[in-house]
Structure 1
Amino acid sequence: MNVSAATASLYEQYVSEMQQIADIRYSAAVLQWDQETYMPAGGADARSRQIATLSEIAHSRFITDSMGSLLKSLSDRDDLNEELQKNISLSLYDYEQQVRLPASHIRDLSEASSKAFHSWMDARRANDFSLFEGSLETLVALKKVEADLLGYENHPYNALLNEYERGATTTLLDSVFAELQIPLKELLEKIRHCEQVDDRFLKQYYAESDQWQFSLALLERMEFDLQSGRQDKAAHPFTINFSSKDVRITTRIDEQDISNMTWSTIHELGHAHYEQGLPAGQYGLPLGEYASLGIHESQSRLWENNVGRSMSWCEHFMPLFKHHFPSQLGEISASKFYRAINKVEPSLIRTEADELTYHFHVIIRYELEKELIGGQLNTKDIPAFWNQKYLDYLGIRVPDNRQGCLQDVHWSHGSFGYFPTYSLGSLYAAQFFHAAKGAISDLEKQIRSGNFRDLLTWLNQSIHRHGRRFTSEELCKQLCGEGININYFMQYSTDKYRFIYGFQTEEGIL
Structure 2
Amino acid sequence: MSTETTDADAEPTAYDRLLDRYERMSAVASAAGVLQWDQQVTMPEGGTPARSKELSTLSSIGHDLLTDDEMAELLETAEAGDLDDEQAAAVREVRREFDREASKPRELVEEISETSSEALSAWEEAKANDDFETFAPYLEELVELRREEAAAIDDDRDPYAVLFEEYEPYLSLDRAERILERLKEALVPMIDEIADSDADVTTDAFSGTYDTDDQEAFSRDVLSTLGYDWERGRLDTSSHPFTSGNQHDCRVTTRFDESDPLGGLTATVHEFGHAFYNLGLPQDRWGTPLGESRDLSVHESQSRLWENHVGRTEAFWEQIIPAFAEYFDTDATAREAYESVNQVYDDNLIRVEADELTYHLHIVIRFEIERDLIRGDLDVSEVPEVWNDKYEEYLGIRPETDAEGCLQDIHWSHGNFGYFPTYSLGSVMATQLFDAAEDDLGDLTEEIGDAEFGRLQEWLRENVHRHGARYQTNELVAQATGEELTADAFLSYVREKYGALYDLEESV
TM-score between the two structures when normalised by the length of structure 1: 0.96
Shift of 1:154: 4.6
Query: For residue 77 of structure 2, what is the aligned residue in structure 1?
Result: 73
Deviation per CA, 1:147-169: give whole Å up to 9, x if none: 10111665210000111001344
Counterpart of 2:57 in structure 1 is 53
Letter matched to residue 423 of structure 1: S
Query: What residue is the counterpart of 2:309 in the other structure?
Result: 306
Work out whether residues 475 and 484 of structure 2, in 8 Å CA contact, stay in contact via their aligned partners in 1: yes
Which residue is 1:38 aligned to?
Answer: 42
Match of 1:451 in 2: 452
Secondary structure of the corresponding residue to residue 232 of structure 1: strand
* Alignment partner of 1:238 out of 239, 242, 258: 242
Alignment of structure 1 residues 62-211 onto 2, 5 Å: 62-78=66-82, 80-151=83-154, 154-195=157-198, 197-211=201-215
Q: 1:301 to 1:152 in 2, by over 3 A?
A: farther
Secondary structure class of the residue paired with 2:36: helix
Q: Deviation of residue 83 (structure 1)? A: 2.0
Choose 184-193 or 35-44, whichever is displaced more.
Answer: 184-193
3-state SS in 2 of match to 1:200: coil
Q: Deviation at 1:216?
A: 0.6
Between the two proteins, the alignment pairs up a number of residues equal to 502
CA contact (8 A) 1:7 1:77 kept: no
Contact preservation (8 Å) 1:362, 1:423: yes
The 8 Å contact of residues 3 and 81 in structure 1, kept in 2 or not, is answered as: no
What amino acid does structure 2 have at the position aligned with 1:11? Y
What letter corresponds to residue 315 of structure 2 in structure 1?
S
Deviations along 1:290-342, one digit per CA (max 9) or x if unpaired, are: 1110000000000000111011111111111112112xx2x211111100100
Aligned to 1:430: 431
Structure 1 gaps of 5+ residues are: none
Structure 1 segments, 4+ long, off by >6 Å, are 1-7
Q: Aligned residue for 2:337?
A: 337
The residue identity in structure 2 corresponding to 1:378 is D
Q: Distance in 2 between matches of 1:7 and 1:232?
A: 46
CA distance in 2, matches of 1:118, 1:29: 17
**Distance in 2 separating the partners of 1:402 and 1:296:** 27
Q: SS of the counterpart of 1:166? A: coil
Aligned partner of 2:403 in structure 1 is: 402
Q: Distance in 2 between matches of 1:258 and 1:180?
A: 28
Retained in 1: the 8 A contact 2:428–2:489? yes
Kindly report which structure 2 residues correspond to 1:284-433, keeping only aligned pairs within 5 A, or say none: 284-326=287-329, 329=330, 331-346=331-346, 347-433=348-434
Distance 1:152 1:481 in 2: 37
User: Taking every aligned residue pair, what percent have the same amino acid on both sides?
Assistant: 38
Aligned-partner Cα distance in 2 for 1:395–1:57:
48
Distance 1:198 1:442 in 2: 26
Structure 2: how far apart are the matches of 1:339 and 1:229? 31
Counterpart-to-counterpart distance in 1, 2:78 and 2:474: 27
Deviation per residue, 1:203-222 (Å, 9 max, x gap): 31111111111011000000
**Residues 161 and 417 in structure 1, CA contact (< 8 A), matched pair in contact too:** yes
**2:267 matched to which residue of 1?**
264
SS at match of 1:343: coil
Tell me what 1:21 maps to.
Answer: 25
Q: CA deviation at 1:197?
A: 3.0
Q: Name stretches of at least 5 consecutive residues in structure 2 with no aligned partner.
A: none
Q: Cα deviation per residue 1:106-165 (whole Å; 9 max; x = unaligned)?
A: 110000000000000110111010000001111000000011011166521000011100
CA contact (8 A) 2:170 2:473 kept: no
Q: Tell me how far apart the structure 1 counterparts of residues 60 and 425 of structure 2 sit (CA, whole Å).
A: 31
* Secondary structure, aligned partner of 2:491: helix
Q: Matches of 2:375 and 2:173 in 1, distance apart? A: 11
Q: Measure how far apart 1:186 and its partner are.
A: 2.5
Asked whether the equivalents of residues 348 and 398 of structure 1 are also in contact (C-alpha less than 8 Å), the reply is yes
Deviations 1:231-281 (A, max 9, x none): 11000000000x301000001010111011100000000000110011111
Check whether the contact 2:297–2:422 (CA below 8 A) recurs between aligned residues.
yes
Q: Secondary structure at the match of 2:485?
A: coil
For residues 279 and 104 of structure 1, the distance between their equivalents in structure 2, rounded to whole angstroms, comes to 34
Structure 2 CA distance for aligned equivalents of residues 442 and 431 of structure 1: 14
Counterpart residue type for residue 20 of structure 1: R
- C-alpha separation between the residues in 1 aligned to 2:493 and 2:472? 24
1:367-409 Cα deviation digits (max 9, x unpaired): 1011100000001110011001001111101111000000000
Partner of 2:476: 475
Letter of the 1:338 partner, please give it: Y
Which is further off, 4-13 or 309-318? 4-13
Partner deviation per Cα, 1:47-80 (whole Å, 9 max, x = no partner): 11111111111111110011110111111112x3
Partner SS for 1:131: helix
Q: 8 Å contact 1:37–1:234 — kept in the other structure?
A: yes
Q: Look up the equivalent residue of 2:311 and give its one-letter code.
A: G
The alignment's TM-score, normalised by the length of structure 2, stands at 0.96
- Is the 2:89–2:471 Cα contact (8 Å) retained in structure 1? no
What amino acid sits opposite 1:209 in the alignment?
D
CA-atom RMSD in angstroms = 1.6
1:481–1:7: structure 2 CA closer, same or farther, 3 Å change rule?
farther
Report how far residue 14 of structure 1 moved. Answer: 2.2
Aligned pair partner of 1:254 in 252, 257, 261: 257
Report Cα offsets for 1:3-58 as digits up to 9, x if no partner: 78767443332232222222211111111111000111011111111111111111
SS at match of 1:202: coil
Q: Structure 1 counterpart of 2:229, which letter?
A: D
1:413-457 CA-to-partner distances (Å, cap 9, x unmatched) read 010000000000000011111101111114111001110111111
Please say if residues 161 and 168 of structure 1, whose CA atoms lie closer than 8 Å, have aligned partners that are also in contact.
no
SS of equivalent to 1:332: coil
Give, as a single letter, the amino acid of the residue that structure 1 aligns with 2:377: Q
Q: Look up the equivalent residue of 1:240 and give its one-letter code.
A: S
Q: Does the 8 Å CA contact 2:5/2:16 hold for their aligned counterparts?
A: no
Do the aligned residues in 1 keep the contact of 2:281 with 2:293 (CA within 8 Å)?
yes
> 1: distance between equivalents of 2:134 and 2:449?
48
